[in-house]
């Protein structure tokens, strides 16, 4: 028996990516509105309430409005916006970190930057290797597809630089999510930027290990990450000795790769995560949560090897 899924916002970047992952599956029945009824309020309300699972790919305010339109106790919701990531009554959609997605009625997808940050830091905080009140710094660079249609058009028209730092006021909306979900007592300093590449993401967190844990070797970090993600096919901990890590290393996939580089002489550690901002950072995470909530194969529709790095066709 197939699961009825309605993607509200299916014409947006994340919606198209989700639809691409679901389109050929026999265990999912996509509920689609014809072009001339997409803005029909009655048709949209009906679709929201007819679906077994609704996936919201909308701006925050529109996502909240959509939730209010669901007036039955049966329909389950996955919200890919940032509207409910720290809200009461919503389950955080990061199953690898132990959140009970399977039994949830309302699931909030993690943000793309928080996904990498939390994968690196949450296991270390939980293991007592990084104090909850340590002043952390995280730098992240994303492909421009994370900025939506306007930013995509700007970069493709040649009107944008090769690399752009933003959120210079240090009040990015992901900070609250990072702080809460990592179990931190002090908000990290978040330094986001966007690069002139369509998709892909790289995050880095430096740790002065000799000050944090002078009694422990830096290898304890990799041990903690290994233990946290041992049975997680979409998260891999790399032990390879590499000379560089690229923003595109996991682009076009639904996986994430974690690295812990260390200088034991100076006692410094450089944590690095790579993922696809549209894969594990958005659409891939939504499909993974859908699979788990519906009791389907958790890996159905997901790719650990690269798909095309090009954007999916528009509707």
Q: Give the C-alpha distances (Å, rounded to integers) separating 126 from 30, 136, 230, 234, 235.
A: 39, 15, 16, 21, 18
112 is catalytic: yes
Residues 6+ apart with CB under 8 A from 112: 142, 146, 201, 275, 277, 281, 282
Distance of CA 289 to the CA centre of its chain: 11
**Total residue count of the chain as it appears in this document:** 315
Return the structure tokens found at 61. 């305010």
Picking from 286, 263, 150, the residue whose alpha carbon sits closest to that of residue 210 is 263
Picking from 70, 21, 26, 64, the residue whose alpha carbon sits closest to that of residue 47 is 70
HEC-encoded secondary structure of 156-187? HCCCCCCEEECCCCCCCCHHHHHHHHHCCCCC
Compute the distance between CA of residue 116 and CA of residue 256 in angstroms, rounded to an integer. Answer: 8
HEC-encoded secondary structure of 1-17? CCEEEEEECCCCHHHHH
**H or E element at residue 261:** strand 256-263
Question: How open is the CA angle 135-111-82, to the nearest 5 degrees?
Answer: 105
Strand-pairing partners, residue 193, are 141, 165
Return the structure tokens found at 235. 């998260």
Residues classed as catalytic: 112
């Amino acid at each position: 028996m197939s699961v009825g899924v309605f993607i509200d916002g299916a014409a947006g970047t994340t919606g198209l990516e989700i639809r691409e992952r679901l389109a050929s599956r026999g265990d999912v029945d996509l509920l689609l509105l014809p072009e001339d009824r997409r803005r029909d309020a009655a048709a949209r309300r009906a679709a929201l309430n007819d679906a077994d699972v609704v996936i919201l790919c909308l701006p925050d305010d529109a996502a909240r409005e959509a939730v209010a339109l669901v007036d039955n106790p049966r329909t389950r919701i996955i919200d890919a916006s940032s509207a409910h990531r720290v809200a009461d009554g919503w389950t955080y959609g990061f199953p690898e970190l132990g959140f009970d997605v399977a039994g949830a009625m309302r699931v909030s997808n993690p943000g793309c930057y928080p996904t990498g940050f939390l994968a690196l830091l949450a296991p270390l905080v939980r293991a007592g290797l990084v104090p909850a009140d340590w002043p952390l710094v995280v730098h992240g660079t994303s492909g421009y597809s994370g900025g939506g249609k306007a930013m995509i058009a700007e970069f493709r028209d040649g009107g944008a630089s090769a690399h752009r730092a933003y959120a210079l006021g240090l009040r990015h909306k992901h900070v609250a999510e990072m702080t809460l979900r990592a179990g931190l007592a002090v908000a990290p300093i978040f330094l986001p930027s966007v690069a002139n590449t369509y998709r892909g993401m790289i995050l880095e967190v430096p740790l002065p290990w000799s000050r944090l844990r002078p009694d422990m070797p830096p290898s304890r970090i990799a041990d903690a990450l290994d233990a946290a993600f041992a049975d997680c096919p979409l998260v891999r901990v790399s032990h390879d000795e590499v000379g560089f890590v690229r923003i595109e290393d996991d682009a076009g996939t639904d996986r994430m790769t974690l690295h812990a580089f260390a200088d034991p002489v100076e006692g410094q550690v450089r944590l690095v995560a790579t993922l696809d901002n549209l894969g594990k950072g958005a659409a891939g995470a939504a499909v993974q949560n859908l699979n788990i909530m519906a009791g389907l194969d958790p890996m159905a529709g997901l790719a650990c090897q690269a798909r095309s790095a090009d954007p999916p066709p528009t509707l």
